[in-house]
A and B are shown apart, each in its own frame.
Chain A
Amino acid sequence: MTSRRIFSVALAAAGVLGIAGALQVDLTARRNIGPGAMPLIYSCLLLILAIVFFCIDKGEGTLRWSSLWTPPARDGLVFFGLNVLLLVMVYLIGTAAAIVAFSIASLAYLKRMPLPRIVLFSVLWACALYVIFVVLLKVPFERGLLFGR
C-alpha cells in the first residue's frame, strides 16, 4: 500500500468521524444554519476528496510499509518515537530531565557522536532552555509526576 493510499484512508476516516460528530448537533437554527451545518459540509467534502485522492493514485510517495523497517526510514520512525517518548517523559520526570534524556538518546542513535560530548551537549542545552524559558520568559517547566507535579 502506497503512502498516498494510506493517507487517503486516514482522510476518509476523518471525514466519517466528522460526519458522525456533526450529526450530533443541530444542523439548522431559526432562519440560519445550525452549529452542525459547516462541519457536516466540510466532512462530506473531505470524504469525497479522500475517495478522489485514493482513486487517482499516481504512485507518489516513496514510503512503503516494508521500507519502514530499514534505514533511513527507520531512523525517522525511531526519532518520531523518541519525540513521543519525550512527551511521556515530560509528564513523568519533568521537562528538564526529559530533555537531557531525549537529547542523549537521539544523538547517540542518529549521530553516533562520542558519549562524553553527547552528555555535555545535552546538559548544556537543557540548561540553556531552562534559562531562556523559565528564568527569562517565566514559562514554567513541567515538574513531572514523580517529582510532585
Chain B
Amino acid sequence: METFSMLLLGFQQLLHPMTLLMCLFGVVIGTLTGVLPGLGPSAALAILLPVIYGRDPLTSLVLLAGIYYGAMYGGMITSVLINVPGDSAAVVTTFDGYPMAQQGRGGVAMGIGAFSSFIAGTIGVILLTVLAVPLARMALKFGPPEYFAIYLLTFIAILSLGGGDLVKSAISLILGLLVSTVGMDVMSGAPRLTYGTLNLMAGIDFLPAVVGMFGLAEIVRDIARGTGYSLTKEKSKVDMRSVLPRPHDLLQVLPTILRCGFMGFCVGVLPGAGSVIATFMAYGMEKQISKDPDSFGKGNPRGVAAPEAANNGACEGAFVPLLSLGIPGSSAAAILLGAFILVGVQPGPRLFETNPELVWGLIASMYVGNVMLILINTAFIPAFVYLLRISQKTLCVVVATLCVIGTYSLHNSLFDVFLMLVFTVVGYFFKELNIPASPLIIAIVLGGDIEFSLRQSLSLFKGNVSMFLGRPICVVIFIVCILLMALPFVRGRRKKGA
C-alpha cells in the first residue's frame, strides 16, 4: 500500500509539463539511438551526460533513463529491415526478424517487436516498483565491510556471468580498476599515477572512456572494416498499418513475451549479465520449448518476441541494484550512476528516504515512457526508417563531432577530448579482439568506491582482515563470491565432458 502511495507521488511529480517533455524527448532520442547502427545507448547517454549538469535532477534523470530503455525498442528496426542490429542487444532479433522481412512480413515483425518491448518493459517496471524498496531497506544495515563485499561480488559476477573469455573480461576489469586509481588519493591526498601531469590530478573521468570506447571506436571500426549498411528505397517502404500486428499474432506470442520478459528482468538484476545475455538465453529457451524448433531462424514471430521482451525486461531489471544499492550492472547503468552523482544525488539505500519524489518520479516516468514508446514505435516507424536511410552517408561525421563536443563540454577541457581519443584506440582493440568493454566502464565507476570501502573497513577493524568473517552478511556474500568464481570452471568441465 505504501509502495502504491509513493508511486502516486511519483506520478504527481511527473505531471509537470517540462518533465513529461523530457520523458518524450528521452524516449525519442533513445529510439533514434537504437535505430542508428554504431550508436548504442551507452554512447548516447555519455554524449548527453554533460548536458544535464546544473539542471533539475528529476527532468535530467527522466531524460537519460528514457534514452536507456528507448534504445531497447529502436534496436530492432534495423535488425529486421537490413539485418544490422542497431545495438548489441538487438543481435538476436536479426535471426528471425530479417527472414520475416524477406518474406514481406517486416512490418509485422516490427509490430510484434514493439508490443513485446512494451509488455515486457511494463512487467519490468512493475517488478522494479515492488522489489526496489525491500532491497533498499535491507541495504540500510550495510556498513563499509558489507559494501566492500557487495562491490567484490559485483566484480566477480561480471567475470563469471559475462559468458565470454575469462582472461579477456579480467583484462577489461583490471584495466578499469587501474584507471580508477589515477589522481589524488581521497584518504591521504597523495597524487597517484599522475607522473607530474596536473590534468591527471582530478583523476580520469569515466565519460571520455565511455564516449571513446562505445561511440568513436565503433564508428572507426565500421569504417576500417568497410561494414557500412545499405538501405534502399524499396527496403525502407514501411507504412503504419503494416506495423500494427493482428490480435491473432499477438495472442500467439503472448506467452513468449511473459516468459522472456520475466526471465530478462531476473538476468538484468545480476551485475555483468545484462541485456545481451538475456536475449540469447530467451531465444535459446523459446527454441528449446517450442514444438517446432526448426522454424526458428526462418522467420518465426516468437524468435522476434523472445529477444525483444528479454532485452526490455533486462533493462528495467538493471535499475533494481542501481537504485537500491547504487551498483550498476551494465555500462549504461554505470553512466546513469554517474548522472545521479552529477545532479547531486547519491543512489543507494538512502535514496528512497532522502529523495522519494525523485526516485518515484523516475519510476513513474518509466510507466509513461513505455506508453510513449509503443505509440512512437508504431506511428513513427516510417519516419525513423526514412531518417536511417538519409543518415547513411553522414552518420560518421555526426557521431564523431558529437563525441568531441560532448566530451569537451564536461569540463570545457581539451585534455578530456585527448583522453577520449586514447580510449578510442583502446576501444578499437577491444572490439577487434572481442574483449568486453562493460567491465572496464563499471570498474572505472566503482573502482574508487571498492578501494575506499576496503580502507574504511580496515580502519574500522584496526587492520585485522579476519574481522570481515565476523560480519554475517559479509560471510554470506563471500560464499556467493566463491560459488561464482567456481562457475566458469564448472562450465568449462561440462563443455569438455560434452
Contacts and interface: CB of A to CB of B under 8 A. Distances in A.
B181 interface: yes
B462 interface: yes
Contacts of A107: 393-394, 397
Interface string A49-91: 1101100100011110000000111011101100110110011
Nearest to A3: B432
Contacts of A17: 193
B401 A73 contact: no
A49 B433 contact: no
Given A42-B178, A72-B226, A125 B405 contact: no
A39 B408 contact: no
A83 B404 contact: yes
Interface stretch (B69-77, B339-347, B413-421, B485-493): B413-421
A17 B433 CA distance: 23
Interface in B184-207: 185, 187-188, 190-195
A5 to B, nearest CB: 10
Contact of A102 (B192, B193, B401, B459): B401
Contact of B171 (A38, A46, A71): A46
A42 B418 CA distance: 24
Contacts, number: 177
B470 to A, nearest CB: 17
Contacts of A31: 458-459, 462-463
Contacts of B51: 137, 139
Contacts of B178: 14, 18, 39, 42-43, 46
Nearest to A63: B432
A142 B408 contact: yes
Chain A: number of interface residues, binned into ranges: 35 or more
Nearest to A84: B421
B225 A111 contact: no
Nearest to A111: B393
Give the dominant DSSP class at A's interface: helix
B414 A90 contact: yes
Interface in A121-137: 121-122, 125, 129, 133, 137
Contacts of B417: 87, 90
Given A36-B192, A42-B178, A86-B404, A121 B185 contact: no
B389 to A, nearest CB: 15
Interface stretch (B13-21, B215-223, B370-378): B215-223
Given A35-B187, A60-B434, A71-B226, A22 B171 contact: no
Contacts of A121: 394
Nearest to B219: A79
Contact of A142 (B181, B221, B414, B433): B414
A26 B220 contact: no
A116 interface: no
Counting chain A CB atoms within 10 Å of each CB, the highest count among B170, B187, B192, B223 belongs to B223
A117 B105 CA distance: 36
A100 to B, nearest CB: 10
B interface residue count range (under 10 / 10 to 19 / 20 to 34 / 35 or more): 35 or more
A49 B432 contact: no
B144 interface: no
B177 interface: yes
A106 B434 contact: no
Nearest to A7: B429
A76 B400 CA distance: 13
Contacts of B458: 31-33
B433 A60 contact: yes
Interface in B424-458: 424-425, 428-429, 432-434, 451, 454-455, 458
B459 A32 contact: yes
Interface string B398-415: 101110110011001010
Contacts of B289: none
Contacts of B434: 60
Contacts of A34: 188
A68 to B, nearest CB: 9
Contacts of A125: 394, 397-398, 401
Contacts of A75: 223-224, 226
Contacts of A103: 397, 401
B167 interface: yes
Contacts of A79: 219-220, 223-224, 396, 400
Contacts of A106: 396-397, 400
Contacts of B192: 21-22, 25, 35-36, 39
B405 A133 contact: yes
A110 interface: yes
Contacts of A110: 223, 396
B408 A11 contact: no
Interface in B135-190: 167-168, 170-171, 174-175, 177-178, 181, 185, 187-188, 190
Nearest to B178: A42
The 10 closest A-B pairs by CB, nearest first: A76-B224, A31-B463, A72-B226, A35-B185, A21-B193, A139-B409, A42-B178, A39-B181, A76-B223, A7-B429
Given A38-B451, A77-B224, A86-B401, 4 more contacts: A10-B429, A35-B185, A46-B174, A107-B394
22 contacts: A21-B193, A21-B195, A25-B192, A29-B188, A32-B459, A33-B458, A34-B188, A35-B187, A35-B188, A52-B167, A53-B167, A60-B433, A60-B434, A61-B433, A62-B432, A75-B223, A76-B223, A83-B220, A86-B401, A87-B418, A106-B397, A142-B408
